[in-house]
Amino acid sequence: MSQRLRNTFGVAVAEVADNDAWQIARIGVACVANSASHCERVVDEVIAFVQDSRLDAEVIAVDREVIAMGED
């Protein structure tokens, strides 16, 4: 799944916790762009993709943080 997310959406993906539990996958996704709204859309698409393509899995929670860098 991680490689498909990278290839489809151009995001960075890593398993960030619960590596010992085979029933749980906690993944982190990072998107970098010149627009916070673009990153929001990409992350929304990633979440929808995971929910739609993995019918054997359930997305239990989503934590989202957008860090906007101001112009000098």
pLDDT digits (tens, 9 = 90+) for 19-71: 676 677 788 999 999 888 899 999 999 999 988 987 777 888 888 888 877 65
Contact 13, 46 (CB under 8 A): no
Name the band, by pLDDT with cuts 50, 70 and 90, for residue 6. Answer: very high
Residue ranges of domains in the chain: 2-53
d(CA 54, CA 37): 26
| Residue with tokens 């906007």, as numbered in its chain | 68
Question: Which residue from 53, 59, 54, 70 is spatially nearest to 27, judged by alpha carbons?
Answer: 59
Contacts of 61 (CB under 8 A, 6+ apart): none
CB atoms within 10 A of CB 49: 15
